[in-house]
Structures are given as C-alpha cells and as structure tokens.
Structure 1
Amino acid sequence: MEKRIITISRQFGSGGHEVGMKLAKRLNIKFYDKELVDLLAKDGKYDVDFIEANEEKCSPPMCPIMPGFAMPVFYQDLPSDLIYKGQSKLIRSLAERGPCVVVGRCADYILRNMNPVDCFIYGSLEERISRKMSMVPEGLDFTREEIKKRVIDVDKKRAKYYEFYADRKWGRMEDYDLCINTDKVGIDGAVETILAYLEHCR
C-alpha cells in the first residue's frame, strides 16, 4: 500500500479526530490536528490562546465591500486571516516532508495540488450528540439540549470558515474521495474503510 497524504474533514461529534489518529497509527505516518496549534505557536508570531481563539473561524470584513470590488476597500488582514495563512503555509510544509493525516483546517483545499485522499466523516445529529455527551468530563453537568446546540453551532462555524477560505461547499460529496457515516461503521470501521480504499487508490 502506497502511503499517501490523507485529509479528514468532519462533522462535530462524528469521531473524525479519532479516525484520523487511528489511521495515522495504522499507517505509521504523522498525524496533525491540534498539533498544528502548537507547531504554529512555535513559529513565535502567535501564542496558543490567540490561535485557538481564531482558527477555523471566519471574521467579517472590517470595511464594507464596494460595488465592483471583490475585496473590501482598504482591506486589512483580520485574526482569522492571519491564522489561515500561517496554518496553510505550515500544512503545505508538513505535507511536503512526507505522508501524513491532517484533520480539518481546509487541508483538503490547501493540499489539493498534492493529490491527497480526502475523506469526510459524518453522522446523524442524534448519534453525534450522544458521542459528545459520553465525552463530558466527570463533574461537569451539561444537558442534551446544550450539547445539541454546541454541535450545531460548531458545524455552522466550520462550514462558514471552509466556504469563506476554500470557496467551495463544506461537506459536498463530489469534493471528497470518501464520505463515511460513523453511525453505520463506527470509528474502527471508518479506519478499515479508508485502508481498503488506499489499497486500490491510484
């Protein structure tokens, strides 16, 4: 099996992080998700709190867009723009070093010229709520409705961010090599599905 660059896009609560982590371990290749925050912070330009507050979020332009102009007049980079540019450069640099699994952060779009295998991990809202409920640390008390709101809000923010920077629809089937429903196959089944695909992928 040829080792490839693999990107994992995911609905919140679908288990995309776990799928990516287990897949990278099975393939013995690098895994990047939250690790990208620490790596970008090591560059020295931004601290971890700044990155976490602004990554995978889309800020509105500071100036109004004038008729006939694609960009706002006197456009200035906003925090989310700075993080996107920094992470894009970092993701490309890491991918150039060798096969890896990258979760989220428009990686499928950023690496589109490097022939990655792009996966979208999804699931029903109810199953994703249940998964997140099971992950709440002991001592914290969240209602199912609160978790539901969180799941929906995070997906909306991810879609808005992706569609702003990638200029295409988040979760659109045609843009991915594999779309996997973890309700049906679970985390391990999703990993096995991707491995089977890689066996036959050109």
Structure 2
Amino acid sequence: MSQNRKFQFKGKQILLLGLVALVITAGYYRWTVESDKFNSVPVTGDALPANANQGENSENQASEASAKPQEGAEGQSSNIAKLKQERDSARSEMAGQWKETMQNKDASAEAKTDAEEKLKAADEYTEKEKAIETLVKTKGFSDCFARVDENGVSVVVSGGEVNGAKVAQVKDIVVEQTGAAVKNIKVSAE
C-alpha cells in the first residue's frame, strides 16, 4: 500500500528544503567570488616589468624598471607621462630602424617583409594603447598608461580607487580592445 502512495511535501519540509537550497547557492556564490580573487592580478605600486617590450634598448628597460611612484597627484601624472614618453620614443626608434630596413636595397625580401609586419604590429599596438587609456580614464581614473606587445598588456592607473571591481573593469576593457588572455594582463596602481 505504501508503494502506491506518492510522497507529499508538508509545510516544514518545503521550508527546510528551501533553506538547504539557499545555503548551497550562497556557498557556491562565495566559492566563485573567492576563486576569482585568487585568479586576479594583484594590484601593486610597481611600474611595468623590465621586459615589457623586447624591442626596447636596455637603457629604456632599466629606467622603466626603476621608475618609482612619486608622491602627490602632480608626481603621479608626471610619472605616467614619463612612461608614455619612454614607450613612444622606444617605439619611434624601432619604427625608424624598420623603415630603414624596408628602404635598404641590400636587405633581403624576407627582412623587408619582416620589418613591414613589425611596423604594422607597432601601429596596431599604438592604436590599442590609446583606446585602452581613453576608456580606462572614463572609469574614474585621472590618468592611465597602457603598453601592448606580443607578450601581453600592462596597465598603470592613477588618481582613483583601485580595488577588485576596478581591476576587473580595466581587464574587461583590455580584453575587449586587444583580445589578450586575462592571464597576460597586468594592472598596477601608481
């Protein structure tokens, strides 16, 4: 007889089942948020790594690696301006070398093609960097420096609160603009 009878939930059982489902859902949500924290890039006061662009000469790499954040808003802007100037001058120097190779009559066709591809890539990187810097500033930061290369993207921000949510917003912008993998994106505060 008891086999034919369907199981019916009573009021207390429904309430208990709902609470168990709520606890499981809350635990899952907390677990996903915690795992995202561990996977995110830590926000530090460091500038870019010394090997951010392989095309730079060692003098520019050393000056970038030793760049330290300065106190006050004026110092922050000048530090980011310095990083931008170093990036642009290094890229201009490399572009000049690539153009020379392309115009050199003695250079092989392969070397000319390689130089042309590198020049196009540098132009694309520059466009992406400008777009990232502009979009990051709209998220509440006073200034931003972005460096894009074949190894990934480095972003330095200043003049705003840097927390997990802001880092996630910056990473979303970078992924949208470059298609870079999140693990290859470095975000730091000045």
Q: Which has the higher helix share?
A: 2
Fold agreement, TM-score > 0.5: no
What is the TM-score with the length of structure 2 in the denominator? Answer: 0.29
Higher relative CO (Cα under 8 Å, sequence separation at least 6) belongs to 1
Larger radius of gyration: 2
